[in-house]
Amino acid sequence: MEALYKYCSGCVAAIAALFAPVVPMIWALVGFIGWDFLTGVVASYREARRYGKAWYFESREAWRTIEKLGFSIISLCMAFTIDTLLLGFMELHLTNLLAGFICGVEMWSFLENACRISDAPLLRHLRRLVRSKLREEVEKDE
């Protein structure tokens, strides 16, 4: 039985060591997705108050966020595996691209929630600026 424990702990340590370089990106994902979730809850509350409706917290939204976080972490680990073990000679930086894409989408959602929370012109201007920059980059690549 002791040999089995050593084998299992060795496997867990090997997997942890393999994915150790991805941990900072995972924490970035957790931060972006977490802030988006919190601002989404606050935006929902503010909109309900603004329109005089009853507000309640729905646990399915929290579970959806947890699922999104889980799928994001798994896809990041998969991209890291492709990047380092399968196509390491190409230096594609798939992990960085995927993490940047996911964090960018979450930032966009955060800006939308911030606009729903506050009617500040600065936030609307910032959202328009980000949208125009994204369009420029997409059109430049085509």
Residue 93 lies inside a defined structural domain of this protein:
yes
Residue 3 lies inside a defined structural domain of this protein:
no
Overall number of domains in the chain = 1
Look at residue 42 and tell me whether its pLDDT is greater than 90.
Answer: yes
- In sequence order, the 6+-apart residues with CB closer than 8 A to the CB of 123 are 111, 114, 115
Look at residue 36 and tell me whether its pLDDT is greater than 90.
Answer: yes
Residue 6 lies inside a defined structural domain of this protein:
no
For residue range 82-112, list pLDDT tens digits in order. 999 888 788 889 999 999 999 999 998 998 8
> What's the per-residue H, E or C state across the chain?
CHHHHHHHHHHHHHHHHHCHHHHHHHHHHHHHHHHHHHHHHHHHHHHHHHCCCCCCCCHHHHHHHHHHHHHHHHHHHHHHHHHHHHCCCCCCCHHHHHHHHHHHHHHHHHHHHHHHHCCCHHHHHHHHHHHHHHHHHHHHHC
Look at residue 141 and tell me whether its pLDDT is greater than 70.
Answer: no
Quote the percentage of the chain above a pLDDT of 90: 56
Look at residue 119 and tell me whether its pLDDT is greater than 80.
Answer: no
Residue 129 lies inside a defined structural domain of this protein:
yes
**Taking the CA of residue 123 as centre, how many other CA atoms within 13 Å lie in the half-sphere pointing to its CB?**
14
Residue 18 lies inside a defined structural domain of this protein:
no
Span 18-39, average pLDDT: 96
Which domain does 38 fall in, by range? 23-141
- In sequence order, the 6+-apart residues with CB closer than 8 A to the CB of 133 are none
Report yes or no: 111 and 123 within 8 Å, Cβ to Cβ.
yes
For residue range 43-80, list pLDDT tens digits in order. 999 989 888 888 888 888 899 999 999 999 999 999 99
pTM above 0.85, yes or no: no
Residue 75 lies inside a defined structural domain of this protein:
yes
Residue 102 lies inside a defined structural domain of this protein:
yes
Residue 99 lies inside a defined structural domain of this protein:
yes
Instruction: Please give the single-letter amino acid code of residue 66.
Output: I
Quote the percentage of the chain above a pLDDT of 70: 99
Span 114-141, average pLDDT: 81
Look at residue 142 and tell me whether its pLDDT is greater than 70.
Answer: no
Would you say how long the chain is, in residues?
A: 142
Span 5-15, average pLDDT: 93
